[in-house]
């Protein structure tokens, strides 16, 4: 199976976790896009969606799915999103799509986080995928120096030769070459650096379930 076929398989499997008549939180990225397209097929069965990015909101609306501002929502049963890496314990690196802060906020409201990923995303140790850190623009060089003391190399993420800006108007530093043995401790340490908005480590608030696309079918990991 191709990577896209694996992504489609887990997106289809995730539909079983959508609660009829309720609001569903939706993530950002290529695998989440497959899920949005599948969600459109049952849009009459859900109340609305909450999007973790402007790109996701636009895709949802293009399918005729109502998108609510998170401030209008008091609870939601499930948040469904991909991951750049996930461990057998459910800790993740997220933020390849530059939506890590909003993803973490929307996920915090949901009762369950369902991660959908192809098998290549399952790793024993996080860090081969560069760790995204969203930062206040005026602080990016200061934060980069502090991140470099943690065992990696922080690089400003660019788009068309200019610093990429998130939906929140901030910049992203990608930390390359890390071996994150203790994701919980690293998440707390980076979040405590002044100037950091959010680190793309989802360990304190990891996945509850991972639907993993493999050549042998979709495997369900419970955490």
Q: Which of 5, 20, 103, 153 is catalytic?
A: 103
**How many angstroms separate the CA atoms of 125 and 88, rounded?**
9
Is residue 153 flagged as an active site residue?
no
Instruction: Give the integer Cα–Cα distance in Å for 91 and 77.
Output: 20
Tokens 């397209």 found at = 37
Instruction: Indicate which residues carry an active-site annotation.
Output: 103
């Amino acid at each position: 199976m191709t990577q896209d076929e694996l992504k489609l398989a887990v997106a289809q499997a995730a539909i079983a976790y959508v609660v009829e008549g309720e609001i569903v939180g939706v993530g950002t990225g290529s695998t989440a896009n497959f899920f949005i397209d599948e969600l459109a097929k049952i849009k009459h069965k859900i109340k609305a969606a909450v999007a973790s990015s402007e790109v996701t909101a636009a895709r949802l609306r293009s399918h005729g799915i109502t998108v609510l501002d998170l401030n209008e929502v008091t609870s939601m049963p499930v948040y469904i999103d991909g991951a750049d890496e996930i461990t057998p314990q459910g800790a993740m690196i997220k933020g390849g799509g530059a939506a890590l802060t909003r993803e973490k906020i929307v996920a915090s409201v949901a009762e369950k986080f369902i991660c959908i990923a192809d098998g290549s995303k399952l790793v024993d140790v996080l860090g081969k995928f560069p760790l995204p850190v969203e930062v206040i623009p005026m602080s990016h060089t200061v934060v980069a120096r502090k991140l470099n003391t943690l065992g990696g190399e922080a690089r400003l993420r660019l788009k068309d030769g200019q610093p990429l800006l998130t939906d929140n108007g901030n910049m992203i530093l990608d930390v390359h070459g890390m071996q994150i043995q203790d994701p919980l401790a690293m998440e707390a340490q980076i979040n405590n650096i002044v100037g950091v908005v959010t680190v793309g480590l989802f360990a304190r608030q990891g996945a509850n379930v991972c639907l993993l696309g493999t050549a042998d079918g979709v495997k369900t990991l419970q955490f």
